[in-house]
Amino acid sequence: MNAQGDWGRGWALVTGASTGLGEAMSRLLAARGFPLVITARSGDRLQALATELRDVHDREVRVLAGDLSQPGAAQALVDEVESLGLAVEVLVNNAGFGKWGGYLDLDADDELEMLRLNMETPTVMTRRLLPAMVERGYGRILNVASTGAFFPGPLMTVYYATKAYLLSYSQALNEELRDTGVSVTCLCPGPTATRFQRRAAMRHTSLQALGLMESASVARAGLDGLFREKALVVPGLVNKATTMVPRFLPRALLPKLVRQAQAGRSPGSPEGEG
């Protein structure tokens, strides 16, 4: 038994590990003593991170680069992990992206990739790795959603919907796994300083005026909640208050409020960085 209690007998697998929350969580997990499997599209960034983690924390790190938004990619990733004989006891489903803009203005292929990466990938990864966790009697799964999961999201319609799925999926599965030794935590951050805003083309929306949390703080809150078996983690007082809004307002009013919040701002608004 080590510093994590009954933990550290297997590997931690982090998707979307090359930047932002995934990168921060990889560092924190290595500091906790876990050997790591890290994956993302950018092989160069992953290799640099792996070198750092080996040097600083003396952890074994496997790099499996790939684009999980492509059909069959999640299945192929798990196949590779299993072929290496790696027992995954912590799964962090972090990979995901969003696109800002009117529904009819956005590219339909991009939205299909978003559906695969934000919903299908964590579902497949969990479905494939969960049975072994239950059989061993211990395991933790962290699904990274968003405060957007609590709202309908005009101007990011598909993205908000994918995060609502992930929140519902995580909470329901966590209840099913009660008394198995395995738990599922859903992390719902608000605006965070990562590369997400740039990829989503939402650099100047009024949501950024709320301020950005640092990715390291969000990652720490998520992992602390994970190991405490919390079903839901919403980091930051402003974000917690935001998720309470739907409880007090008519459902019909929420899309109007979100659309106003998503509306464009003048240049100079805060921008996330990876």
Query: Which two three-digit tokens encode residue 269?
Result: 């608004």
- Catalytic sites, residue numbers: 159
| DSSP for residue 99 | -
What is the overall mean pLDDT for the chain?
A: 88
Residue-wise pLDDT for 176-195, tens only, equals 999 999 999 999 999 877 65
Distance separating alpha carbons of residues 26 and 57, to the nearest angstrom: 11
Those residues with Cβ within 8 angstroms of residue 266's Cβ, 6 or more apart along the chain or in another chain: 204
pLDDT surpasses 80 at 129? yes
Distance separating alpha carbons of residues 121 and 128, to the nearest angstrom: 11
pTM of the predicted model as reported, rounded to 2 decimal places: 0.87
| DSSP for residue 79 | H
Rg of the chain over all Cα atoms, to the nearest angstrom: 18
Residue-wise pLDDT for 135-180, tens only, equals 999 999 999 999 999 999 999 999 999 999 999 999 999 999 999 9
- Give the burial class of 87: count Cβ atoms within 10 A of its Cβ; 0-12 exposed, 13-18 middle, 19 or more buried: middle
